[in-house]
Structures are given as C-alpha cells and as structure tokens.
A and B are shown apart, each in its own frame.
Chain A
Amino acid sequence: MSCSNLTMWVPSKPSLSDTSAISSRSFICPFHLPNSSSSTPSRSPTSTQIQCSLRDLRDRIDSVKNTQKITEAMKLVAAAKVRRAQEAVVNARPFSETLVGVLYNINEQLLTEDIDIPLTKVRPVKKVALVVVTGDRGLCGGFNNAIIKKAEARIRELKGLGLDYTVISVGKKGNSYFGRRPYIPVDKFLEGSNLPTAKEAQAIADDVFSLFVSEEVDKVELLYTKFVSLVKSNPVIHTLLPLSPKGEICDINGICVDAAEDEFFRLTTKEGKLTVERDVVRTETSDFSPILQFEQDPVQILDALLPLYLNSQILRSLQESLASELAARMSAMSNATDNAKELKKNLSRVYNRKRQAKITGEILEIVAGADALV
C-alpha cells in the first residue's frame, strides 16, 4: 500500500505533540492539509506530509468503525425491505391477473364496435403531464438522480417540441428538487410511504384522471424506475393516458408491451449471496365463459374497468420504483461497508506501525541513556 493512497483518509490535523526523530522518519502519516496544498503540487508525497498523533488515528479508526456499522445495518434493512416489497407485488397478482383476463375478453367483444371512452380518447397533444416517481430518502446511489435526470431530459424534449407540460411529483426527493426550481410548473406534490398502497395509487390516479378528463392535459406520462435486478434498474417513461383499450402498455415511442405478460421478481439466496429471480408469467386469457352476458353496455363496463387498470398500473410502477430504490440502497451500502472495511484495515496498519515506532524510539532513548551513564 503506497502512502499516497491514504492521503485523503487520515485526519488533516498536524500533530501537536511530537514523537522522536526516528518515528518521524519511519512512520509517515501521509496526508495533505486541505489548504496547504494550494501552492504545492498536491500529490507529491514529500512536500505536505503532516504527522498525526496516535490518538487522532485511534479516533479516526473508531469513527470509521461506527460508519461501517451504520452502513451495514442500512444494507440489511434494505434487504429485508426488498423482501416486503416483493411480497406486496405477489399480493397484487390475483387482482392484476383477473383484471387482465377480463380486459382481454371484453376487448375481444368490443373489437367490432365503435367505442368512445374518455380515458382512451386520443387528442392532439398540447399539454403533457409528467408523473415523476422518486424515493423518499437518499443514500441510495444514483437512484433519485437518474430518474430526475430522465425527467429533465423529457422536459427539454417537450420544450423542444413546443409543448406545454406540468409535473406531478411523487416522493420527497422529487418534491424538494422541483420545489427548489420554481420555473418548472408542478401540479401537485405527493408523498410516497414505506410501502405503496392502493390509496396512494388512487391519489395519483384521481389527480391524473381529473387532469385528463377535464382536458387540461392531453397526455399523461409516467416516469419511474423499472426494477431489472438487484444491481440494475432502468428509469423508464410510460404513457399512462390515453389508455390503449387493448390492455397494452405503450412507451413513448409507441412500442407496446402486452400487459398480459406479468413479470415479478423474487429475492433468493444462491450460494450464500442474495440474487434475484425474475419470473415472467403469461396470464391465461382463454378460459372465459362464452355465454357470459353483460349487465350493462360493454362500453360502460370498459369504462369501469379502465380506471381499475390505471390504478393497478400506477401501483405497480410505485412498487417497482420502491424495489429499485431499496436495491440501489442495498448495493450502495454494501459498497460503503466494503470501503469502510478497507479503510479501517489501512488505518489500523498505519496505527500499529506508528505505535511500534514510538516504542522502538523510547527503547532506543533508554538504552542510549543507560549507555551514557556507564
């Protein structure tokens, strides 16, 4: 381990009490005073070496140890929460499966009819609402930044196209970001919670619904982080409204994904390490009684179903977003713990060397003193 690697880590306090000449040569406590490096080339090891006392080093080691404990705990908490998040996804499945099945069938019946439903109406786009889903807390790597950057990029794109836009911000981090930027029009600030529930999805859906139906906006896009694996997640943009009556989810380029294909992730342990399995389940959409009668017009039924569908879409994206956040936090904290361990190791080595040098120096002094007496 070269000295220069340690430069940033050791406290930059010059030692007050000094040790012997020997120790100052054998032990180099190599760091730069932050302000002293202005004139000297910062990385040259000889120019700005400053010693620190043993006690400073010990304090430093203790502080790193504490940090490591905290980051480790955060990592474990995040891991436990990923499990909970995944449970919520599993709980939501019976609903979404049945929903997709019904939607598919009704849609088949409606293929021949001319339908006019407010939620599927495609209007010429003048104003777009962006629903930006961020996390509530930091310390999760680039998670919040990535989604906010994506939102900024989309806003620029819309501006370039000459379209008006408004933002619906979900999550504390997004709220504070947009709150600090008054030039971005924000329609509503909403807060997420530990576990997304249907109520929160409903609050977003209500807002989006009334914006769209009252023709204040002509398109609603949902920006959230898609959970790919524990180490990878993608910020994505989905068109939320107008809904396609076929039960498909379209991205902004018009590429559609069949909603019947339901993916969900599962946290497992493989060889002692956490991994994620992602299952793709195709919902069976064929078993439907052919003699089924519709109590109301199929159009009315679709009208009742689509808000449900909207809701479950939003809920799902909230859940994915939460899972991504937790996964991001897990890996960030895991890295932090590793760094802390490494740092602690290096610091202890320096500390031990220095202590040894001091003892040697003292012995030499005693011996020299004894020699002089003889």
Chain B
Amino acid sequence: MTLNLCVLTPNRIVWDSEVKEIILSTNSGQIGILPNHAPIATAVDIGILRIRLKDQWLTMALMGGFARIGNNEITVLVNDAEKGSDIDTQEAQQTLEIAEANLKKAEGKRQIIEANLALRRARTRVEAVNAIS
C-alpha cells in the first residue's frame, strides 16, 4: 500500500506525491502516520512536518491548519508551508530574533497576540532548517 501526501496552501500545491511515513505536529502533540492509518481529522499546529521518502527525512514548516487522513490519502490544508531546504538559515534566525524582541516590547492584548503568533512562526522556520542535520 502506498501513502499519498498532499499539502495545499491557498495559492498552490506544495507537495503532492507518495511518501513512506510522516510525522505531523497536531494540536494535541506529534503523531506519526504510516500507510493504512485509520481515518482521522485533526487540527495542525504551527510546527514542523517531517516526511520520510525511503531513507531520507525531509522537513517542512507548516503555519497552522488542518489535516485529513483516510484511505491512504493525507490532505494537509495550511495557511503557508515552506520546505526546510528552501528556507534561508540566516534570514530565519534574524526573523526569530526580531520576533523575540517584538514580544518583549508588546503592550496590550492585541499586540501580544500578534507578537506571539509571529514568534511561533519564526521559531518553526528555524526548527525546520536545523532539523535537517
């Protein structure tokens, strides 16, 4: 049995091909998905997605969304997704530092909400780059 993964963002299809195994960060923790998984629907957190192709692991930064698994078909709907290999390490690190600084400066409920979101996104991107090694 083959497992097919499809990662969709509002403007394009990021990934649509066969995989061996994935590890998905859901709202209730990471779950691993192998072929013939029971059909489930889950919310996807801002976090990294690990994909195994034969013996090789790839990472992808997911910016929060939703996943549906069933019939050996995984459909991941996310706001934005970036492959770990496409992210510039330095740039990601800088964004993280800026986000951290912004959170410290944030005042009021609204700014804190915004800063927190930005920080989590930045952190995920850095993780996605570093996880390759």
A residues at B contact (CB < 8 Å): 88, 91-92, 94-96, 98-99, 102, 106, 197-199, 201-202, 206, 209-211, 213-214, 216, 289, 291-296, 300-301, 303-305, 307-308, 311-312, 315
Q: In the assembled complex, how far is the CB of residue B32 from the closest CB belonging to chain A, in whole angstroms? A: 13
Q: In the assembled complex, how far is the CB of residue B118 from the closest CB belonging to chain A, in whole angstroms? A: 8
Contacting chain A: which of B6-14, B47-55, B88-96?
A: B6-14
Given A99-B77, A301-B66, A307-B64, A292-B41 contact (CB < 8 Å): yes
Within 8 A of A (CB), among B67-121: 68, 70-71, 75, 77-80, 108-111, 113-114, 117
Mostly, the A contact residues are helix
Of chain A, the residue at the smallest CB distance from B31 is A295
Whether, in the assembled complex, B4 has its beta carbon less than 8 Å from a beta carbon of chain A, the answer is no
Asked if B31 contacts A198 (CB within 8 A), the reply is no
* Inter-chain contacts of A291 with B (CB < 8 A): 39
* Inter-chain contacts of B65 with A (CB < 8 A): 304-305, 308
Q: How many Å lie between the Cα of A210 and that of B109 in the bound state?
A: 9
Asked if B79 contacts A311 (CB within 8 A), the reply is yes
Asked if B79 contacts A307 (CB within 8 A), the reply is yes
Q: How many Å lie between the Cα of A305 and that of B66 in the bound state?
A: 6
Asked if B77 contacts A301 (CB within 8 A), the reply is no
Whether, in the assembled complex, B23 has its beta carbon less than 8 Å from a beta carbon of chain A, the answer is no
Asked if B28 contacts A295 (CB within 8 A), the reply is yes
* Inter-chain contacts of A214 with B (CB < 8 A): 108-110, 113
Asked if B40 contacts A293 (CB within 8 A), the reply is yes
Q: How many Å lie between the Cα of A166 and that of B42 in the bound state?
A: 36
Q: In the assembled complex, how far is the CB of residue B71 from the closest CB belonging to chain A, in whole angstroms? A: 7
Q: How many Å lie between the Cα of A105 and that of B120 in the bound state?
A: 29
Of chain A, the residue at the smallest CB distance from B114 is A210
Of chain B, the residue at the smallest CB distance from A213 is B113
* Inter-chain contacts of A197 with B (CB < 8 A): 11
* Inter-chain contacts of A312 with B (CB < 8 A): 10
Of chain B, the residue at the smallest CB distance from A303 is B43
Asked if A102 contacts B68 (CB within 8 A), the reply is yes
* Inter-chain contacts of B31 with A (CB < 8 A): 295
Q: In the assembled complex, how far is the CB of residue B17 from the closest CB belonging to chain A, in whole angstroms? A: 15
The 25 listed contacts between A and B (C-beta, < 8 Å) are: A94-B13, A95-B9, A95-B77, A98-B8, A197-B11, A198-B9, A198-B10, A198-B11, A198-B79, A198-B80, A201-B10, A202-B80, A211-B110, A214-B113, A292-B40, A292-B70, A293-B38, A293-B39, A295-B28, A295-B40, A301-B66, A305-B77, A307-B79, A308-B64, A315-B10
